[in-house]
């Protein structure tokens, strides 16, 4: 157990380092001057150089990289070029709102994926199964910004059930969470339905059916546990996708979070803010996948911690 834990944590640290390094190199070698973009008078070379020196931007690139890496390990991503505000303060102010949005969206996505996935294989009527199976691909194809605007128009401006902007209440998070969850839930439903069909056609399901087990018992008592594993293994990737989706969702629903901060940072060439957000996204991805790795053997006892089927 200890060896498995250390191996998975080591692999996770490697992923975070790779994400940080790739993002830093891309941002550093992009054309443009972050100091000039931050509003420092470009006609005054002395002012530009003084600002670069104060921020350490006039040092060799490898020195800047090492300093940024060791700072990130300590949770210190420096200060913004324009205002000098510590990046850690920006993250501390924005991260809770984004985590709240993604957390609620993940719950909605799991509910949607479970209900639609089971409903796609549960009915005996073939036409109904086909109709329900067509819903996930349709939902996946919907653009997130269009879906967000549609939810606003229908349930906020039309019916008035939910506020159109963040009011600090749970009601104000329902629509943005749904706009993230519908597409994510559709992915889960598609994978779950496919896995359920395989499990329902397996030899052990036929044996249970031959013993007189009802369809609900076959689905919920036997097939669902094994079919849930592929969907569970996707959760880490889907959570990372939802973090990326907050860029659009937080803008559409006027929510302050990492998504809106990322847009502002890109527009103003605040490399340190972009780098911090990318690193946090990688960290969340790693943590979620570690949790999934630990939960998987609890769902299916045949899977050992080595990832192999136990004898």
For the chain (length 311 residues), average pLDDT per consecutive 10? 72 87 81 61 62 68 83 80 78 85 87 81 69 76 78 79 74 83 83 76 68 67 68 74 78 80 77 85 82 67 49 35
Q: Where are the alpha helices (DSSP H) in 211-257?
A: 215-216, 224-233, 235-252
- Report domain extents, the chain: 96-263
User: pTM to 2 decimals?
Assistant: 0.73
Name the CATH architecture for the domain at 96-263: Orthogonal Bundle (1.10)
The residue whose two tokens read 């420096």 is: 78
pLDDT of 34 = 64
Closest by Cα among 111, 258, 93, 260 to 178: 111
pLDDT of 177 = 86
| C-alpha distances in Å from residue 310, one per residue of 73, 195, 296 | 38, 21, 13
| CA pair distance 180, 105, nearest whole angstrom | 6
The residue whose two tokens read 């943590």 is: 287
Q: Most distant CA pair in the chain: distance in Å? A: 86
User: 138 CB contacts (<8 Å, ≥6 apart)?
Assistant: 186
Return the ∠ at Cα 109 (arms to 105 and 111), rounded to 5°.
Answer: 120
* Contact between residue 262 and residue 87 where contact means Cβ atoms under 8 Å apart: no
| C-alpha distances in Å from residue 308, one per residue of 298, 303, 304 | 14, 6, 6
């Amino acid at each position: 157990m200890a060896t498995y834990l250390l191996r998975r944590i080591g692999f996770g640290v490697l992923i975070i380092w790779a994400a940080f390094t790739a993002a830093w190199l891309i941002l550093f070698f992009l054309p443009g001057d972050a100091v000039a973009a931050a509003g420092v008078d470009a006609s005054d070379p002395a002012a530009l150089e003084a600002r670069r020196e104060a921020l350490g931007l006039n040092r060799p690139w490898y020195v800047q990289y090492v300093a940024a890496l060791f700072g990130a390990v300590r949770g210190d991503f420096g200060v913004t070029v324009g205002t000098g505000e510590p990046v850690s303060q920006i993250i501390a102010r924005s991260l809770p709102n984004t985590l709240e949005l993604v957390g609620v969206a993940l719950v909605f996505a799991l509910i949607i994926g479970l209900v639609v996935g089971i409903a796609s294989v549960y009915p005996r009527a073939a036409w109904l199964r086909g109709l329900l199976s067509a819903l996930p691909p349709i939902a996946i194809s919907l653009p997130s910004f269009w879906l967000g605007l549609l939810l606003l128009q229908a349930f906020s401006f039309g019916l008035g059930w939910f506020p159109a902007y963040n009011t600090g209440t749970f009601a104000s998070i329902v629509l943005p969470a749904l706009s993230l969850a519908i597409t994510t839930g559709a992915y889960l439903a598609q994978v779950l339905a496919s896995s359920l069909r395989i499990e329902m056609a397996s030899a052990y399901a036929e044996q249970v059916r031959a013993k007189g087990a009802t369809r609900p018992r076959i689905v919920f008592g036997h097939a669902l546990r094994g079919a849930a594993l592929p969907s569970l293994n996707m959760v880490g990737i889907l959570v990372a996708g939802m973090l990326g989706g907050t860029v659009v969702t937080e803008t559409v629903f006027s929510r302050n979070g990492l998504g809106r901060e990322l847009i502002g940072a890109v527009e103003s060439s605040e490399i340190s803010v972009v780098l911090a957000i990318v690193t946090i996204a990688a960290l969340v991805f790693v943590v979620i996948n570690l949790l999934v790795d630990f939960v998987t053997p609890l769902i299916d006892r045949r899977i050992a911690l080595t990832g192999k089927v136990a004898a």
